[in-house]
Amino acid sequence: MLDPAVAALLKRDDAGLVAAVVQQHDTGEVLMVGWMDDEALRRTLTEGRVTFWSRSRREYWRKGDTSGHAQYVSSVAIDCDGDALLVRVDQVGAACHTGTRTCFDAGGDLGAVVGQRPEGTSDGQPDSRPDAVSGTAPAPDEFEETR
C-alpha cells in the first residue's frame, strides 16, 4: 500500500491516475509521460525502477522489462497541485516505444511563438530594484515564430 501521507498529496483524475513526467536526472532531458495510480507509484518509490499503469492494456508495466530499456529511479517529486509527478531517472537505451531516445523526438516541433523576457529581468519578473525601469511584457509584434 502507498504511504498514506503520500497518497493524501495526490490529486487523481477520474480514473485514479496522475501524470508522470519522466526526465533524465543528469541532463534534464524530458523522456516521456506515463500514468501512475497509487500502486504504480508505490512500486516506483520502493523498487528503484519505474512502473506505470497502462490505460490501453489496463495493467501495470515496468519500463524495460521486455525491451531492456530500463528506467532507474533517481528521485520522484510531486507538483504544487498534486496532479503530476516528476520522475528523474537514469535511462538505459531508448525511452520511447518507437526506439527513439525520447517520446518527443518523433512528434516534431509545433512552431510555437517564442516570447522574450523584458529587459532587466533574469527570471521573467520585473526588476524590483528602486532604480530599475519597470518591466513590461513585449508587444505582440516583438515575438518571433519558430519553424
Binding site membership: which residues? 79-81, 83, 96, 103
* Other C-beta atoms lying within 10 Å of the C-beta of residue 76: 17
Residues contributing to the annotated binding site for Zn(2+): 80, 96, 103
Q: What is the DSSP letter of 12?
A: -
**Strands 51-54 and 144-145, sheet pairing:** unpaired
Residues contributing to the annotated binding site for Mg(2+): 79, 81, 83
* CA distances to 22, 73, 129, 134, 146 from 117, in Å: 28, 35, 17, 13, 16
